[in-house]
Structure 1
Amino acid sequence: MKIKKILNNNAAIVVEDNQEKIVIGPGIAFNKGKNDLINRNKIDKLFVVKNDAHLGQLLPQIPVEHMALTQEIIQYAEELLQVKLNPHIFIALADHLSFAIERYEDGIFIKNKLLSEIKILYKKEFDIGVWAINYVEEKIGIRMPIDEAAFIALHLHTASVPSGDLQVSLRQTSIINEIIHIIRDYFSISLEETGLSYERLITHLRYTLYRINDTAERTMDDEMLIMVRNKFPSSYHCATKIAEYLSRQHDIQLPSEEVGYITIHIERLRSREV
């Protein structure tokens, strides 16, 4: 396993069996040069660059400096989250981070429409994202907007769960954002995004989407549901509108119990906003 390109002291691109790989490990490339051999015992992560035209074109376009920043962010995240992230995050995050830096240099800023939801759903990952944009500023003098912390958080969350899929995470977070807009429009209120009731609603919606096909976990009986419906008619009607929307737009069928729970969360939230 020979070195093709050194990224930093802890990461390098190597070639083995005519295949490019990215290896990461403490001091793995220290005092090394091109064509030097890598000590396999120092390899902490290994990412295989498959015969993919996109990846083949992508790697040379990512500056070594940006790869080094990515590696430091991943290492910091693993220490705080106490997990080993999927090694595929290295390429995905390096590509995202490098493109974000390029956009900043060109004066292009992209707003993250899911910022509020991500801050609540993935709090630890978002805090790491905030650290990351501060670290980027410290190292290369570029101050990226807080929206980038949320983008980074999504990448970290996806890489920290088994079979993580960024598109699934994005879809679930987008659906939650759509639900919040339904509530806002229905009651014509601007919700306090830092409030405890808002956070509880977001968290409940997240787990609702995760366990949507789990029929074993049902704790609201019909009598309780009728009471909730009669006591909070406006919030219940809003919850049914949400259920209809999810069915129509996303083919998600909310059980009646979930409509009841969402009603309670909406009522708690609404009573603190009006």
Structure 2
Amino acid sequence: MKTYVLKRVLNNNAVIASQSGTDYLLMGLSIGWGKHAGEAINSEDVERFYVLHDSSLYQRLDQLFEQIPSDIMQFSMELVTLIKSSMGTPLSDNLYTTIPDHINSAINLYHEGLSVSNMMLWDVKSFFAKEFEIGSVVIEAVNRHFSVSLGEDEAAFIALHIVNASHETPDGAAVEITRFITRMVSETERLLHRSLARESLPFFRYVTHLKYLGRRVIAASEDKRNDADPESRDLLALIRDNYARPFSYARQLCSFIEQEYGFTCDDSDLLYLTIHIQKLLSALNDAGGDE
């Protein structure tokens, strides 16, 4: 029989324990009752387990298990598993604290007849479509399980928590990255004097690029990269000569980023922005003729 070594009792039905050097959040009926650190936990007493990687969260988990009803905590842990499997990319253990905390608050507000509008709903739906879709599934599950009626504003909040949990996203930067994308799209439309075709594949690819650029900009990190390698510089020169107008727009976007965020784009940033602007222009022209 597999056994775990108890490290921390969260409440009667939840503990943190280790096994073979890995820490787990273990849940089961009375699994923590009367137990103390160092004691053994038998696997037959474990109903659900979740792998933990960040020990700095343990105190916060302790607080949440004290403050939040056990049914909300238990269901939230299942939702985190759903989120992680649906995303298919590494996500921070922070979700084990942010998701139950948010869901508990949303349910409490609902029963008080209150709701919080998400001012970034449209942007989240547009720029983080996968995260919003998963957030919608999460909220639908919450509505069914707790007999509440939370809306798409809450789905967008869950999506932002997912974005924040990405290992590529600076802590708490989801809102700022979303704002960065929004501003870049608006600035692009201003430069082009055109509304971008937001359902087009080039727009989707452009936004995807802006997500990664936004992570670097918001983190105020240029990755300590050297400027583009000689091959990239040659390609940039070729792109500049053949796509003068998109290159000019890309340079203006880089100037906008430096002015607004104090971040200096390198040749690779300029290259990729030029390519994306050219594809956006081609999509616009194919859809409605030249300007």
CA distance in 2, matches of 1:72, 1:65: 11
What TM-score comes out, normalization by structure 1 length? 0.73
CA contact (8 A) 2:135 2:158 kept: yes
Match of 2:117 among 88, 100, 109: 109
Question: Who is 2:84 aligned against?
Answer: 78
CA distance in 2, matches of 1:146, 1:91: 21
Question: Who is 2:247 aligned against?
Answer: 236
Match of 1:205 among 206, 210, 230: 210
Q: What is the CA deviation profile of residues 47-76 of structure 1, one whole-angstrom value per residue up to 9, with x for unaligned ones?
A: 666668xx8876544333332231111122
CA distance in 2, matches of 1:84, 1:265: 27
Question: Who is 2:184 aligned against?
Answer: 179
> How big is the shift at 1:88?
3.1
Aligned amino acid, residue 256 of structure 2: Y
Aligned amino acid, residue 136 of structure 1: V
> How big is the shift at 1:266?
1.9
Q: What is the CA deviation profile of residues 87-116 of structure 1, one whole-angstrom value per residue up to 9, with x for unaligned ones?
A: 332122222222233444403322325311
> How big is the shift at 1:200?
0.9
Three-state SS of the structure 2 residue aligned to 1:144 is coil
CA distance in 2, matches of 1:109, 1:74: 23
Instruction: Give the direction of change, closer, same or farther, for the CA distance of 1:32–1:100 in structure 2 (3 Å limit).
Output: same
Q: Tell whether 2:257 aligns with 1:252.
A: no
Three-state SS of the structure 1 residue aligned to 2:263 is coil
How many aligned positions are there?
A: 252
Question: Who is 1:29 aligned against?
Answer: 28
What TM-score comes out, normalization by structure 2 length? 0.69
Q: Tell whether 2:268 aligns with 1:262.
A: no
Instruction: Give the direction of change, closer, same or farther, for the CA distance of 1:172–1:185 in structure 2 (3 Å limit).
Output: same
CA distance in 2, matches of 1:224, 1:241: 19
**What pairs up with 1:1-274 in 2 under 5 angstroms?**
1=6, 3=9, 5-6=11-12, 12=14, 24-25=25-26, 28-30=27-29, 32=31, 34-35=33-34, 39=41, 42=46, 44-45=50-51, 60-81=66-87, 85-104=91-110, 105-113=113-121, 114-115=123-124, 116-119=126-129, 123=130, 125-161=131-167, 165-209=170-214, 212-213=222-223, 214-215=225-226, 218=229, 219-221=232-234, 222-230=236-244, 233=245, 235-273=246-284, 274=288
Identity of aligned residues (%): 22
Three-state SS of the structure 2 residue aligned to 1:24 is strand
CA contact (8 A) 1:155 1:166 kept: no
Instruction: Give the direction of change, closer, same or farther, for the CA distance of 1:257–1:56 in structure 2 (3 Å limit).
Output: closer
Instruction: Give the direction of change, closer, same or farther, for the CA distance of 1:198–1:94 in structure 2 (3 Å limit).
Output: same
Q: Structure 1: any 5+ residue segments left out of the alignment?
A: 16-21
Q: Structure 2: any 5+ residue segments left out of the alignment?
A: 1-5, 18-22, 217-221
> How big is the shift at 1:143?
3.3
Instruction: Give the direction of change, closer, same or farther, for the CA distance of 1:228–1:65 in structure 2 (3 Å limit).
Output: farther
> How big is the shift at 1:153?
3.0
CA contact (8 A) 1:243 1:253 kept: yes
Three-state SS of the structure 1 residue aligned to 2:117 is coil
CA RMSD across the alignment: 3.6
CA distance in 1, matches of 2:239, 2:266: 11
Three-state SS of the structure 1 residue aligned to 2:128 is helix
CA distance in 2, matches of 1:129, 1:215: 38
Q: What is the CA deviation profile of residues 15-72 of structure 1, one whole-angstrom value per residue up to 9, with x for unaligned ones?
A: 9xxxxxx9633xx3135574357727555445666668xx887654433333223111
Aligned amino acid, residue 190 of structure 1: S
Aligned amino acid, residue 193 of structure 1: R
CA distance in 2, matches of 1:76, 1:93: 12
